[in-house]
Chain A
């Protein structure tokens, strides 16, 4: 998405991939209450631990995208996998996407010493801007998810107008109601 990463910096980030992503995973787990964080770490089965497995399946390739030449569609799909779940959980929007920005501090702690020594500060700041871009893209994904939740909510209510109106005849809804439903949708969109 952004510029091509400085070769030396990229080599260091590749070498440190293991510890960085593991710390990142731990940080994301810890965004849940302690009992949950333990479970997310412990349970390896994909179907017994959907949150943990989606984190695991997202963060490694996301890191590759970050230090490689990121493909926007792939990156967005991976971010979706990470953020879609958080978008319906007990997180504020900031907390939901902060897991991306958290990567900055983790990487700084791992590599900044070397970066400073070799004088790659400018290159490193450019790399951090790439993390920002990932974070902003994550916010796009978060909003898409929230919009989808509201769309589903709206559709759910639109399907049930007899309850909203306190007793519209369902049989009326059945046959003639499709047109009625479209009209209602149109009215709501207009207002």
Chain B
């Protein structure tokens, strides 16, 4: 797949790439684009096939002898099992409506990153190996045979899709290319070809309950560190409850919020909010992960990892579950959890203990989004807020792909931001809400070694941020997803270095006026708020 350039090739600085059929353009696997392969022990832990050491740059990927048969049998099984997959293989007319909607295509200019082309990598195998026309006519019918090079090409591009589903929005037939990627990755996993950035979190989550492998005492300790910071910056002592049986609510959030900047400030926002309300809730050190990298591996792995949330809710005897700011967690919760591991009849339809609001939208999975919960509190005037504490920020909001396209969460975060900030500016219409651009690093692609890929994928989003930065002076990009918070800082550093990244609950924490707080000259990051030096205590607060 890859080779050294000859001296003649080195001298050929060609400005115009060849105009050939996509099947004739060989895929060259390049460092900076792919993620490192899964460590064998991490594959083994969860009992997945063919754990082995290999490298994408080697010719020999250590495939088992019967890999082709395994792939085709796996594909046949999935074509029978998932009606949607079969339909997506059959009905695409290659109209091109999706072609220019993918952030990876828009950022890389690589035509194989057009969603239609990426799906075509697998669709061509379907035609070539499973349909009569394709078997007889081959390329004339858009079919090709499965070879090692084809498999490597599929591998390369299945990990250049973040399953964000923007393309599906524009498909007149409703083809969800993300589902093709999901199946593509499942097939790849039949030979132990996962990437480590996905596999290790999966193994950790399976063993300890979260992606980072934080053991219960460490998880607890990290949350307590955040409480120490809150005590310093806000003057309120918080002792959060862990694994408390009989609590009304179980709170689950991505573990990224527990350790990674700037997610930790979002976590401080949650802690302050719950303390302020006197909420009867508990953290769990076992269901200590909202994210689910199993979802980027295989659906049955997603099911296995997701199971811990309901199991823990049952063990603790809570009434319902509150979920933090996460991306794909909400797609799993909203679209899969109830059938993966439910229905959770032991739980009740969520009702806010503060406002009495019944969250009918969550009556099936019994899990409420923190933005829904907070927006409801603000709407009922249950929070005392001083948005001036966020006056040094000019905020825009990035709709994370999964909460927006996966569950329709558009208004609540905006409603919250408008109540806790005085300066809010929307990005252009065709880059937000349903049409939001991915951060460029979702679906397990938030590693470090594939930074070029991440920066390409992040370009369309950053391009819109740059626009509001130049036009309105926006300096803060808010979002409700832990992967966004982890990866957008890198994207901003490259494309729009003047802009920072935060979670919505961090902005809430900054604006929240708590009973008994001391003077707060700094924000939750410990940075001084302009105009809030010592004499600030007389600031007007806003009751909402």
A157 to B449, CA, bound (A): 9
A1 at the interface (CB under 8 A from B): no
Interface positions of A from 153 to 191, Cβ below 8 Å from B: 153, 155-157, 159-160, 162-163, 167, 169-171, 173-175
Contact A174–B259 (Cβ < 8 Å): yes
Residue of A with least CB distance to B490: A152
Q: Please give, as numbers and ranges, the residues of chain A lying within 8 Å of B200 by CB-CB distance.
A: 163
A170 to B467, CA, bound (A): 37
B451: contacting residue among A51, A90, A153, A171, CB under 8 A: A153
A170 to B257, CA, bound (A): 12
Known A-B contacts A34-B19, A149-B451; the reply to A173 vs B107 at CB < 8 A is no
Interface positions of B from 452 to 504, Cβ below 8 Å from A: 452, 455-456, 459-460, 463-464, 467, 490, 493-495
Which of A45, A47, A89, A102 neighbours the largest number of chain B CB atoms within 10 Å of its CB? Answer: A47
Residue of A with least CB distance to B39: A166
A30 to B14, CA, bound (A): 10
The stretch of A3-11, A91-99, A116-124, A128-136 that contacts the partner chain: A91-99
Interface positions of A from 93 to 118, Cβ below 8 Å from B: 94-95, 98-99, 102
B356 at the interface (CB under 8 A from A): no
Contact B13–A51 (Cβ < 8 Å): no
CB distance from A30 to the nearest CB of B (A): 5
Number of interface residues of A (CB under 8 A): 50
Number of interface residues of B (CB under 8 A): 50
A48 to B451, CA, bound (A): 22
A173 to B218, CA, bound (A): 11
A8 to B262, CA, bound (A): 58
The stretch of B109-117, B301-309, B383-391 that contacts the partner chain: B109-117
The stretch of A13-21, A35-43, A68-76 that contacts the partner chain: A35-43
A132 to B349, CA, bound (A): 70
Contact A152–B109 (Cβ < 8 Å): no
A143 at the interface (CB under 8 A from B): no
Known A-B contacts A51-B106, A160-B448, A174-B222; the reply to A30 vs B494 at CB < 8 A is no
CB distance from A46 to the nearest CB of B (A): 7
A30 to B16, CA, bound (A): 5
B407 at the interface (CB under 8 A from A): no
Q: Please give, as numbers and ranges, the residues of chain B lying within 8 Å of A30 by CB-CB distance.
A: 15-16
Contact A50–B463 (Cβ < 8 Å): yes
Q: Please give, as numbers and ranges, the residues of chain B lying within 8 Å of A50 by CB-CB distance.
A: 106-107, 459-460, 463
A29 to B538, CA, bound (A): 58
A45: contacting residue among B430, B455, B456, CB under 8 A: B430
Q: Please give, as numbers and ranges, the residues of chain A lying within 8 Å of B225 by CB-CB distance.
A: 171, 174-175
Residue of A with least CB distance to B218: A171
Known A-B contacts A30-B16, A98-B13; the reply to A173 vs B259 at CB < 8 A is yes
A9 to B464, CA, bound (A): 40
Known A-B contacts A33-B109, A171-B225, A174-B225; the reply to A47 vs B455 at CB < 8 A is no
Residue of B with least CB distance to A35: B111
Which of A30, A88, A102 neighbours the largest number of chain B CB atoms within 10 Å of its CB? Answer: A88
B275 at the interface (CB under 8 A from A): no
B214 at the interface (CB under 8 A from A): yes
CB distance from B215 to the nearest CB of A (A): 9
A137 at the interface (CB under 8 A from B): no
A11 to B218, CA, bound (A): 72
Contact B260–A95 (Cβ < 8 Å): no
A94 to B15, CA, bound (A): 10
Which of B109, B111, B222, B467 neighbours the largest number of chain A CB atoms within 10 Å of its CB? Answer: B109
B100 at the interface (CB under 8 A from A): yes
Interface positions of B from 89 to 148, Cβ below 8 Å from A: 99-100, 105-111, 114
Residue of A with least CB distance to B261: A159
B355 at the interface (CB under 8 A from A): no
A155 to B261, CA, bound (A): 12
Q: Please give, as numbers and ranges, the residues of chain B lying within 8 Å of A162 by CB-CB distance.
A: 212
Residue of B with least CB distance to A53: B463
A88: contacting residue among B100, B456, B467, CB under 8 A: B456
Contact A148–B15 (Cβ < 8 Å): no
Contact A43–B100 (Cβ < 8 Å): yes
Residue of B with least CB distance to A101: B13
Contact B467–A36 (Cβ < 8 Å): no
Chain B interface residues (CB < 8 Å from chain A): 13-17, 19, 25, 30, 32, 99-100, 105-111, 114, 200, 212-214, 218, 221-222, 225, 258-261, 264, 428, 430-431, 448-449, 451-452, 455-456, 459-460, 463-464, 467, 490, 493-495
6 sample A-B contacts, Cβ–Cβ < 8 Å, listed by A number:
A36-B109, A46-B467, A152-B455, A156-B448, A171-B218, A174-B225
The 7 closest A-B pairs by CB, nearest first: A156-B448, A50-B463, A35-B111, A32-B109, A36-B109, A171-B221, A88-B455
Known contacts A36-B109, A85-B107; can you find 17 more A-B pairs with CB under 8 A? Answer: A30-B16, A31-B15, A33-B111, A35-B99, A39-B99, A51-B459, A84-B494, A94-B13, A102-B15, A148-B493, A149-B494, A152-B493, A156-B451, A170-B212, A170-B218, A170-B222, A173-B259
